[in-house]
Chains A and B, each alone.
Chain A
Amino acid sequence: MDAAAVVQDNTLTLGPNLDIAHAGEIRTALQQLLQQEGALCLDAGDVARCDAAGLQLLLAFTRHCRSQGRELRWNRASDLLCQDVAGLGLASELAINPQAQGGTQ
């Protein structure tokens, strides 16, 4: 996938780079996702690189959904993303559960 993020129906699929270089594009896609009705889904199974800016973006989005009462689910999350999120102590906040794990990295 070349794009940083693609929205289809209620699911946003992240590309391999969740980082500051792609943060603008991902933010636009997240805003597009918010326009959808019902439960929202994130697919991060292909994330192969993430940095603090990318994780902050996801954190802000998760908090926004929570504050607005929007349901947010994870379809997949790559091992790399799960490791980074766990290492930074954000697993609970981002609500990435083990069942969501799986992907190419």
Chain B
Amino acid sequence: MTSILAVDDSPSMRQMVAYTLKSAGFDVTEAEDGAIALEKAKSASFNLVLADVNMPNMDGITLVRELRALPEYRFTPLLILTTEAGQDKKLEGKQAGATGWLVKPFNPEQLVATVQRVLS
């Protein structure tokens, strides 16, 4: 089963993402910030990482940069979640090594379609 690491400090957003992806047949692990996500990514292997940008301890851009420095995540799809107000983060995320982004709010169908597209 395809495993996804969903990273967001907002419980409601994390739950929505996890519920949607689990319903679509993915195995989802949750992390509440970048630092926790990095530890989980080092101890297990994920096929895709989906991370919010603004989080305590370690933000999503730094997480992407740290993951890209790990040989096992060099080619793994890494998606970042931004808001309309934080669209300037797209370029920063791209430069850090993100595969793409999703702008919040997004509907469940958009989330699943984007995940399936970058995994294909």
Residues of A whose CB lies within 8 Å of any CB of B are 19, 49-52, 54-55, 83-84, 86-90
Q: How many pairs, one residue from A and one from B, have CB atoms within 8 Å of each other in the complex? A: 37
Check if A19 sits within 8 Å of B83, measured CB to CB. no
Check if B16 sits within 8 Å of A52, measured CB to CB. yes
**Known: A87-B83, A88-B16. Is A52-B105 also a contact (CB below 8 A)?**
no
- Distance A90 CA – B107 CA, assembled complex (angstroms): 11
Please indicate the chain A residues that have their CB under 8 angstroms from the CB of B104 in the complex: 86-89
Residues of B whose CB lies within 8 Å of any CB of A are 10-13, 15-16, 19, 83, 104-107
Please indicate the chain B residues that have their CB under 8 angstroms from the CB of A89 in the complex: 104-107
Check if A83 sits within 8 Å of B10, measured CB to CB. yes
Please indicate the chain B residues that have their CB under 8 angstroms from the CB of A50 in the complex: 11-12
Check if B107 sits within 8 Å of A87, measured CB to CB. no
